Amino acid sequence: MQVVRDAMIELTVNGRVQRVDVDPQMPLLWVLRDVLNLTGTKYGCGGGVSLCGACTIHLSGRVRKSGTTPISASADKEVTTIEGLSPDGEHPLQRAWQEFNVPQCGYCQSGQIMAAAALLARNPNPTDDEIDEAMAGNICRCGTYTRIRAAIPRAAKEA
């Protein structure tokens, strides 16, 4: 039996350098939620293959599912969570989500917004097909997909 020792790992989360002393294989999701108390990133499917997208974050600007990303893969990288998207909650996507009344239960919404933010960062004027492709890794239990699809172009106009 192999014993894994905790290790001091340094990463930047929402612009702040953080040092955590955890098992290097611990999923980033649990470091964010349980160690750093950033609870906007959600545990969803627990499927081990990131089926739902509730745990979506940005790792060095790219969409990653924090539930299946070990903290060791995040060392010396920039992590952005929903809390870091906008210091005051006024990101164009957050405003569009409110305007289009996207959330119902709201559980998946941080992952949805983070996936949409990554899309708009690399493509400020996406087509409907590009939106569908970028959002395909995120599931909404309440079925607000048409509102999500409407909110993203609105946010793109403001960004």
Is residue 60 predicted with pLDDT exceeding 90?
Answer: yes
Do 70 and 93 belong together in one domain? no
What are 82-139's pLDDT values in tens digits?
Answer: 999 998 889 999 999 999 999 888 888 999 999 999 999 999 999 999 999 999 989 9
Task: Give the count of domains, the chain.
Answer: 2
Give the tokens for residue 87.
Answer: 């210091």
Distances (CA, A) of 45 to 70, 138, 156: 17, 11, 29
Do 76 and 14 belong together in one domain? yes
Do 97 and 38 belong together in one domain? no
Domain boundary among the residues 67, 84, 101 is at 84
pLDDT band at 4 (very low <50, low <70, confident <90, very high): low
The predicted model scores a pTM of: 0.91
Does the residue 1 lie in any domain? no
Can you give the residue range of the structural domain that contains 50?
7-84
Domain boundary among the residues 34, 52, 84 is at 84
